[in-house]
Chains A and B, each alone.
Chain A
Amino acid sequence: MAVKLSYREYFKEDALPLMWCSGCGNGILLRAITDSLADLQIPPHQVVVSTGIGCWGKADDYMKTHAFHGSHGRALAFGTGIKLGNPDLHVIALMGDGDALAIGGNHFIHSARRNIDITAVVSNNFNYGMTGGQYSPTTPLSSKTTTSPIGVAEPAFDVCGLSEQCGANYVARTTAYHVTQMKRMITAAIQKKGFSVVEVLNTCPTHFGRRNIAGDPVSVMQYLKDITVNKSRYEKMDEEEKAKYLVTGELVNKDRPDFLSVYRELNPAASETGRGESK
């Protein structure tokens, strides 16, 4: 019987310590991803992580799977080629909020529309952490950042709502506080055929936290708990109350055929592996 894989088969322990700030939730998220891969017993060589640029974009430095670290905002576009080049691979795109929703917003919505079989894990810490704490498309309205000293004048994207509207097969939101839920969602997202999005609301004590909540990790973690409410409670709220919270939980779970299934159905000559020698 094959040896059971542990998260250590995916996680590059000799790269420790993590480069992220004390109190950053990215380490928690990385552990949840590697635990999920171990739970699913997917051999590391059948996994490619495609990372963006930014704090969370550094995640590939700690992975022992195949990895691609490209340009800002393009993890899904590179991932699309990786997946279509070898459809047997599990492609996991690791992107921050600015990476996925601002510079990479176009790839994000089209990946969902196309329903490409990629798992997108969006670490949303409400600002651009790597560049010093500027506002991003998910910074809550009127929050203070280095580029919105009085308060940001733009409303935030609802990442999950956007994903749903664009056609993703699986959409879920959790936080760095809700570790068990996080792992459960990532496991489900990896198993789902088609485009799946797990938005993880994350801590950034160094920048967003310090300017809007408090600079200590515990306060920022508590904030994530305070601003979220799970789906069953959320659904019982009136509209006025709903507006105060971000809903967590599994928000979409369906089985619309993914891009490659449809492409192959329409082009029967396209071989299963895509490496056919039919001519």
Chain B
Amino acid sequence: MSRPEGVQLMEGNHACAWGAIDAGARFYAGYPITPSSEIAEVCAHELPAYGGTYIQMEDEIGSIAAIIGASLSGRKSFTATSGPGFSLMQENLGVGIYQEVPCVIVNIQRVGPATGLATQPAQADVMQARWGTHGDHPIIALSPASVQEMYYLTIRAFNLSERFRIPVIILGDQVIGQTYENIILPDPASLDLVERKKPLVPPEDFLPYQPDENLVPPMAAYGDKHIVHASSTCHCETGYSNFKYGTNRQLLTRLKDKIYNYTDEIIEVEHFGPDDAEVTLISYGASSRVCKYVVGEAEKEGIRVNLLRLLTIWPFPDQEVREALGKTGAVVVAEMNQGQLIGEVNRVNASNTPVHLASGIDGELIRPEIIMTSIREAVK
């Protein structure tokens, strides 16, 4: 298949792969796992024609390792998986964050823990995406709610990873990954793509971890005359390991600040429904599609409901959620887990607004009735 153009009936996983290719990804390493394998299949089929490489690694540990390696060699790289594979990737995800390696990890979430329901949707890896790897660290995670958005958020994920030198996670789910919808594929030349900054100093003056004014170090590639020393051990600006008092504080602080001082570039939300509402739904991904339907259903019962949809999950949109909490009578958080992001909503709940959970843990797209039940409770 050559690159489809214009209006296409396409699966979410395919849209993800094409988004990556259009964003400039030329290396994919992965391990087959339901419900994400179609992303690997498109890459295996298409990347050679783009001068790229597909490799099927021996496990997901090796897959994320390989994309980190290829990114350091100068190529935009990504992998895709689901829960069990995402668990295996956690240690090296931390390596990527610590070494500041741009790359994209797609997690098409399914029901867990363990093997769970391998072909059914969930959104239960939200906290794992945030804190799954050990140690203090920032992360960026995006949550698409349609096939079209899968395409655009994948491109955005690459752009953010290049801009901030950090692995970016696409937190998809089985519904969005394997649903077919009409999408419009734009001319790739019309896309705004971000490339990592290259060093401007001569090789002999280059320090691979010396940040620029945005706290992000310009990045040379392996093979460049600018020598790169990338270490998973605590390191100073030279990249070499350094155990002096203060080095770790300085490094962890910069890694956090380079993201949290620039959240306005990262956070994206959508407001749906009336401005003033008795109940505000907060949701993301496939669940938020159901929420949009529920806004109309609630209106039929005379309840004014709106929706705050989070496209960016991490960093958490503190300000946007706090504002929504302050403007509404009650909040219902709709997610396909036993309550994960609701903890973050409560964390920023300065107005002490009542917060209810609509929890979809039945191995299918959350039913409108579950959300309606929570709305009725909220207005009781």
Contact = CB atoms under 8 A, between A and B. Distances in A.
A99 B91 CA distance: 15
Interface stretch (B32-40, B57-65, B345-353): B57-65
B225 A106 contact: no
Contacts of A84: 27, 53, 55, 66, 69-70, 73
B301 interface: no
Interface in B85-136: 91-92, 95
A188 to B, nearest CB: 23
A260 B230 CA distance: 25
Nearest to B52: A274
Nearest to A266: B48
B221 to A, nearest CB: 7
B345 to A, nearest CB: 34
Contacts of A80: 29, 55, 57, 62, 65-66, 69
A68 interface: yes
Interface in B267-326: none
B105 to A, nearest CB: 14
Given A81-B70, A106-B58, A89 B223 contact: yes
B53 A274 contact: yes
A275 B232 CA distance: 27
A273 interface: yes
B155 to A, nearest CB: 17
Interface residues of B, number: 49
A60 B49 contact: no
B222 A74 contact: no
B69 A82 contact: yes
A74 B92 contact: yes
Given A84-B70, A274-B51, A45 B223 contact: yes
B375 interface: no
B48 A267 contact: yes
B61 A77 contact: yes
Contacts of A89: 73, 222-223
A57 to B, nearest CB: 9
Nearest to B50: A279
A81 B51 contact: no
Interface in A77-111: 77-86, 88-89, 106-107, 110
A70 B3 CA distance: 36
Interface residues of A, number: 47
A270 B66 contact: no
Contacts of A271: 51
A115 to B, nearest CB: 13
Interface in A93-147: 106-107, 110
Contacts of B29: 80-81
B77 interface: yes
Contacts of A270: 47-48, 51-53
Contacts of B48: 263, 267, 269-270
Contacts of A68: 69, 72, 222, 230-231
Contacts of A67: 228-231, 239
B146 to A, nearest CB: 26
B58 A110 contact: yes
Interface in B225-277: 225-233, 239-241
B354 interface: no
Most-contacted residue by chain A among B69, B227, B230 (CB, 10 A): B69
B68 A81 contact: yes
A192 B255 CA distance: 40
B97 to A, nearest CB: 12
Most-contacted residue by chain B among A50, A61, A84 (CB, 10 A): A84
Interface of B: 3, 26-27, 29, 47-53, 55, 57-59, 61-62, 65-75, 77, 91-92, 95, 203, 221-233, 239-241
19 contacts: A44-B227, A46-B223, A58-B241, A67-B231, A69-B241, A77-B65, A81-B27, A81-B72, A84-B53, A85-B70, A85-B71, A106-B59, A269-B48, A274-B53, A274-B75, A275-B26, A275-B74, A276-B51, A276-B52
